[in-house]
Chains A and B, each alone.
Chain A
Amino acid sequence: MHGDDADLVRRLRAGDEAAFAVLVRRYQAQLVRLASTFVSSRAVAEEAVQEAWLGVVRGIERFEGRASIRTWLFRIVVNQARTAGVREHRSIPLDLGDEAAVPAGRFDRDGDWATPPGQWTDEVDARLDAKALAGRLKDLVLELPAAQRQVFTLRDIEHMGADEVCEILGLTEGNQRVLLHRARSRLRGMLEAEMGGV
């Protein structure tokens, strides 16, 4: 078990409120964000996360540390949020999507670019400032289909590795990568459209 995890688990088993508060401060916002992708409203998401915290308190004695606390906690939240989604009749089978990374009309008959990606900045060799782009991206992510949003959020916003995301969302490695690909491609297209590109 990771050193920090081992300490937190020991303290939680002893009923240490401060240890619980550490976890809440560290993960609550991320957990609500993730839960929101399964249910209809923030209120329902917060309820699901609260149920998950109760699951943590009840389950800490059985926690064996095969996964990190973070993975375990996120999995519990996904289970709670999925159950809440089912109650709301929002449960949808996994949809990988089948859209192309770039619409076919952007290529010629040979498959070469007919309308190539426009430059995102007027300055030659300059990339756009990531911080400046981040605010816009945060809103655009909400327009992604749920499964793509889940994977993109955990991978590229929360910086989790592919293995952990597969474990949390119950995805195969291949499906995880397809969803990440569709999400990144779609977001690139949305940003390009916003920047007056194509």
Chain B
Amino acid sequence: MLFRRRRSLVCRQAVELMTDYLEDALSPRGRDRLEAHLAECPHCTEYLAQIRDVIAAAGHVEPDDLPSGTVDGLVDLYRTWRTGT
């Protein structure tokens, strides 16, 4: 069993493949290897879940508010540019 694991992925390698996995950039064989590792490794499964948490949280980052007057100021400039060129 230990010998078999040695020949497949270890955790230190698995964590480096997470983005390729999520980006669907692994070969079919590489994908199978990682999924086989995940199926038997709760720690790497938790690690992947945390990477997904990071991505989900990023999707909720609110855009900065525009300082008041920004749009009007740029539209004023737009008018100047249009008439000046």
Partner of B58, one of A20, A107, A157: A157
**Most A C-beta atoms less than 10 A away, residue of B15, B43, B46, B81:** B15
CB neighbours (8 Å) of A17 from chain B are: 75, 78-79
B1 at the interface (CB under 8 A from A): no
A75 to B69, CA, bound (A): 25
Please count how many residues in chain B sit with their CB below 8 Å of the partner chain's CB atoms: 43
Given A133-B57, A152-B58, is A181 in contact with B81 using a C-beta cutoff of 8 Å? no
Contact A53 B55 (CB under 8 A): no
A61 to B72, CA, bound (A): 24
A71 at the interface (CB under 8 A from B): no
A66 at the interface (CB under 8 A from B): no
B27 at the interface (CB under 8 A from A): no
Contact A29 B23 (CB under 8 A): no
Partner of B43, one of A117, A141, A159: A117
The secondary-structure label for the interface of chain A is helix
What interface size band does chain A fall in? 35 or more
Contact A29 B64 (CB under 8 A): yes
**Most A C-beta atoms less than 10 A away, residue of B20, B60, B62:** B60
Partner of A192, one of B6, B50, B71, B74: B50
CB neighbours (8 Å) of A181 from chain B are: 16, 18-20
Contact A15 B82 (CB under 8 A): yes
User: Of residues 31 to 85 in B, which have CB atoms within 8 Å of A's CB atoms?
Assistant: 43-44, 46-47, 49-51, 53-66, 70-71, 74-75, 77-79, 81-82, 85
CB neighbours (8 Å) of A116 from chain B are: 43, 46-47
CB neighbours (8 Å) of B70 from chain A are: 24, 28
Q: List 5 A-B contacts (CB under 8 A).
A: A58-B85, A134-B57, A177-B23, A184-B54, A191-B54
Chain B interface residues (CB < 8 Å from chain A): 6, 10-13, 15-16, 18-20, 23, 25, 43-44, 46-47, 49-51, 53-66, 70-71, 74-75, 77-79, 81-82, 85
Chain A interface residues (CB < 8 Å from chain B): 15, 17, 20-21, 24-25, 28-30, 32-33, 50, 53-54, 57-58, 100-102, 104, 107, 110-113, 116-117, 119-120, 127-128, 130-131, 133-134, 136-138, 141, 152, 156-157, 159, 162, 177, 180-181, 184-185, 187-188, 191-192
User: Which 7 residue pairs spanning A and B have beta carbons closest together?
Assistant: A111-B10, A181-B19, A133-B57, A156-B58, A134-B60, A116-B43, A111-B12
